Chains A and B, each alone.
Chain A
Amino acid sequence: MAAVIETQGLTRRYGRFTAVDVLTFQVQEGDVFGFLGPNGAGKTTTLLMLLGLTEPTSGSARVLGFDPVRQPLEIKRQVGYLPENVGFYDELTARENLDYVARLNQLPAGVADRNIATALGQVGLTEVGNKRVGQFSRGMRQRLGLAELLIKDPKLIFLDEPTLGLDPDGINKILDLILSLSRDRGITVVLSSHLLDQVQRTCSRIGIMMKGRMVATGTIGELARRKSGPDEAGETLEQIYMRYFQEA
């Protein structure tokens, strides 16, 4: 198992405010990594730095063996990023939106058509592929966002709050999809969220971020033992998280 993501003292300051503070952590290949933390903890900033969309003030990172500052294109070719509020060109159909992304990724036309069809099938949007995205519900948009990541056949995907504002059925569909991606296609997933029961259901490893620092990483069992002693291994993630939160 190789480290897919590796950071060394990654720091980002905006003026006097430190959004990400000397962050050092690793994500292993095949993990579903739950990236937890309250709003404004620096999760999104970290993801943006890993993609090379924001430059770190200091420190360094390696994503799939590439340096995001120097080789952002290599990273963006293999990494899919689903932003918190994913946007689409509402006047285009779902298929046209995906086609545009495929062309931006310079996929050959044949490959693109095949990948688009597969991806639409995988997220269950084949029947509405030729409808305008403007008519889509939030859940459908979120699934279309996942399809958009899949057409480039990524090794690693970043999902920023993928279940925000969805109904329970929509949440389940998304989470099942994420699990099947990790299981069947071996994609490493980094999932940022603050909905703890969902993270507990899907993630194999967890990192908790508070005020720009990574306060803990490990499996849920490890976190529970470290925080509450060996007898408390059965604690829910929510209980563990609240202990960290009160400490910070």
Chain B
Amino acid sequence: MWTIFRKELSDHFTSTRFLITFALILMVAAVTTYTAATNLRQALEGVAKPSHVFLLLFTTSGQLFSLAQFNAFFGPLIGIILGFDAINRERNDNTLSKLISQPIFRDAVINGKFLAGVTTIALMLSSMVLLITGLGLLSVGVVPGGDEAGRLAVYLFVSIAYVSFWMGLAILFSILFRSLATSALAAVALWIFFSFFIGFAASLVAGAIAPVDNPRDPRQVVANRNAEDAASLASPVVLYSQATSTILDPFRRTRQNLTMVGPMERFSMERFRNPLPLDQSILVVVPYLTLMIGLTVVCFGLSYVIFMRQEVRST
């Protein structure tokens, strides 16, 4: 399995598409950090005692979007690019039947590919976060404290799980579909649906489960909102953005939006604007993380079972 792992890894790192996406992402990251840093300086002027300045690099939107948002949108693309042709390219090139007629277990192929993909993702995202940290140090001049570094580490971990999920999905499609184009398009279609249309879908579902007959009745409105939130959690994109915004913004102590919070609670939030300690933030995030890793495992498990049962013919 480690032989396959090593080959896949070197394939990833030498492939043109990897270099192009990586360059693109680093470039966007650098630009976003730069604009965020510029805005940061203006925003912080006159604030007496700013805290967690460093994390603002990731959450402040520069011109268009913050870095965290960018990752939520384009992370899936990295995963899809790494995984969409994992199995069906070998099948189309007739290398699969040769590969499994070597003295290896069949699951070594898929395990090796999956691990190589996750390693690539981990290296890619870590280098990106480190690069931004460096840029941030240079442009803002704030050194991240232990708490902030811990938050960044958790953020990195969640991001790796998130992108790995998309890669797992893409590998699953590459097993199901013989054609490279079909598997790529299917993965991209799901990505677009979960990123852009999940909001409509969730409100439709919420309207069906908990209809609001009387907009003045708070119970109905709340039930409707609850249903909508629950439905939109079906999207890994939503899961990821909620989890990361909690971890990157220590002042957020609930994952619910403000309409859900009662007036007294809101008052106390305004009154005591103290950051949540890291372990408490993590506590809020753990269910999300579990769900995301669970989704990844489901994708991998399905790929594994289908691949092991699939007939291997050279023609």
Chain A interface (Cβ < 8 Å from any Cβ of B): 44, 48, 51, 53-54, 73-74, 76-77, 81, 83-90, 100-101, 103-106, 148, 160
Q: Are B315 and A84 in contact (CB under 8 A)?
A: yes
Determine the chain A residues whose CB is within 8 A of the CB of B94 once the complex forms: 83, 85-87
Which 5 A-B pairs give the minimum distances between C-beta atoms? Answer: A87-B94, A83-B314, A87-B95, A104-B102, A76-B103
Please measure, in the bound complex, the distance between the C-alpha atom of A90 and the C-alpha atom of B94, giving whole angstroms. 11
Would A54 and B101 be within 8 Å (CB), given that A87-B95, A89-B95 are in contact? no
Would A73 and B105 be within 8 Å (CB), given that A44-B313, A54-B311 are in contact? yes
Determine the chain A residues whose CB is within 8 A of the CB of B130 once the complex forms: none
Interface contact tally, CB-CB below 8 A:
65
Decide yes or no whether B280 CB sits under 8 A from chain A: no
Other A-B pairs beyond A48-B313, A76-B102, A104-B4, 8, CB < 8 Å: A74-B103, A76-B103, A81-B98, A81-B101, A83-B98, A87-B97, A89-B95, A100-B3
Q: Are A104 and B93 in contact (CB under 8 A)?
A: no
Would A106 and B101 be within 8 Å (CB), given that A87-B95, A100-B3 are in contact? no
CB distance from A113 to the nearest CB of B (A): 16
CB distance from B1 to the nearest CB of A (A): 10
Mask for B86-124, Cβ within 8 A of A = 1, else 0? 000010011111111111110000000000000000000
Decide yes or no whether B7 CB sits under 8 A from chain A: yes
Would A54 and B312 be within 8 Å (CB), given that A104-B104, A105-B103 are in contact? yes
CB < 8 Å neighbour of B7 from A48, A100, A148, A160: A100
CB distance from A61 to the nearest CB of B (A): 16
Q: Are A51 and B101 in contact (CB under 8 A)?
A: yes
Chain B interface (Cβ < 8 Å from any Cβ of A): 3-4, 7, 90, 93-105, 311-315
The 29 sampled A-B contact pairs (Cβ below 8 Å) are A44-B314, A51-B101, A53-B312, A54-B311, A73-B103, A73-B104, A76-B101, A76-B102, A76-B104, A77-B103, A83-B97, A85-B314, A85-B315, A86-B94, A87-B90, A87-B95, A87-B96, A89-B93, A89-B95, A90-B93, A100-B3, A100-B7, A101-B102, A103-B3, A104-B4, A104-B103, A106-B103, A148-B98, A160-B314
Q: Are A48 and B103 in contact (CB under 8 A)?
A: no
Most A CB contacts (10 A, CB to CB) among B99, B313, B314 go to: B314
Determine the chain B residues whose CB is within 8 A of the CB of A53 once the complex forms: 97, 100-101, 312
Would A86 and B101 be within 8 Å (CB), given that A44-B313, A53-B312 are in contact? no
CB distance from B87 to the nearest CB of A (A): 13
Determine the chain A residues whose CB is within 8 A of the CB of B311 once the complex forms: 54
Most A CB contacts (10 A, CB to CB) among B90, B93, B96 go to: B93
CB distance from B29 to the nearest CB of A (A): 29
Determine the chain A residues whose CB is within 8 A of the CB of B90 once the complex forms: 87
Q: Are A83 and B7 in contact (CB under 8 A)?
A: no
Determine the chain A residues whose CB is within 8 A of the CB of B99 once the complex forms: 104
Closest B residue to A14 by beta carbon equals B311
Please measure, in the bound complex, the distance between the C-alpha atom of A184 and the C-alpha atom of B95, giving whole angstroms. 29
